[in-house]
Amino acid sequence: MSAQHIHILYIDDEIHNLNAFKASFRRMYSVVTASSAEEAEKLLSEKEFQIIISDQRMPKMTGIEFFESILDRYPEPIRMLLTGYADINAVVDAINKGQVYKYFSKPWNEDELKHNIDKAYEVYALRKENRELTAKLLDVNQKLEFLVRQKLIS
């Protein structure tokens, strides 16, 4: 899949960060932005995203709380966290509660973030391929078991 087909949802309550992210990455990826967790949830229900990047400190809900709240409904997207604050507890919570792939400080380094978005997509694609191969294997196994039962009956 080309980078342009990588769909990213970026959530941040600061409009200038949303604009900067979109300006930096819109030529490389398909970027959709949301200014709140509520708006992001609505977008998730309408479109498939491979990568979700969220700011940590937002009104009403932190990035970690947002990731934790969507984990059951949207387990496939790779989650990344951005923050302007160095908080080791947030990093630990991000990994443990929100299953965050990477944690970045603001202001972000564009090359580093791009590199990690590409790596995150590789993880997403490998997990998807693994799920598909597992499903095929289960199907073949069921068919094989059926044939063995038929052979034993006759």
CA 116 vs. chain centroid, Å, equals 12
Task: Average the pLDDT over 30-44 and give the result.
Answer: 97
Spatial separation of the C-alpha atoms in residues 61 and 38, rounded to whole Å:
9
Angle, alpha carbons 22-70-136 (nearest 5°): 100
Q: Which amino acid is at 21?
A: F
pLDDT (tens digit per residue) in 114-141: 999 999 999 999 999 999 999 999 999 9
pTM of the model: 0.84
Per the structure, the count of domains in the chain is: 1
The yes-or-no verdict on residue 81 having pLDDT over 60 is: yes
Spatial separation of the C-alpha atoms in residues 4 and 46, rounded to whole Å:
19
Q: Is 83 exposed, middle or buried (0-12, 13-18, 19+ CB in 10 A)?
A: buried
Q: What are phi and psi of 129, to 5 degrees?
A: -60, -40
Go through 109-134 and write b for each residue having 16 or more CB atoms within 10 A of its CB, e for each that does not.
Answer: eeeebbebbeebbeebeeeeeeeeee
Rounded percentage of the chain residues whose pLDDT exceeds 90: 69
- Collapsed DSSP state (helix, strand, coil) of residue 73: coil
Structural domain boundaries enclosing 129? 3-153
CATH of the domain at 47: 3.40.50.2300
Distances (CA, A) of 40 to 11, 66, 92, 150: 7, 9, 23, 51
The yes-or-no verdict on residue 2 having pLDDT over 60 is: no
Give pLDDT, residue 86: 66
Give pLDDT, residue 90: 65
